[in-house]
Amino acid sequence: MTDVEPNVHALYDAQDQAADEYFNQADWDPLADLLQHTLSDPAMPRLYRVKYHALSVFVSEDADTHIMLAKESINDIVQVILAEDTPQEDIDRRLQYVRRMVEVAEAGVIDADVDEQ
Q: What is the pLDDT of residues 81-113, one digit of tens each?
A: 999 999 999 999 999 999 999 999 999 877 655
Overall number of domains in the chain: 1
What one-character-per-residue DSSP string does 86-102 give?
A: --HHHHHHHHHHHHHHH
Domain range spanning residue 54? 5-116
- Whether the predicted pLDDT of 2 surpasses 70: no
Please answer whether residues 57 and 66 qualify as being in contact, where contact means their C-beta atoms are separated by less than 8 angstroms: yes
- % of the chain exceeding 70 in pLDDT: 89
For the entire predicted model, the pTM comes to: 0.84
Taking the C-alpha atoms of residue 49 and residue 81, their distance in angstroms, rounded to an integer, is 16
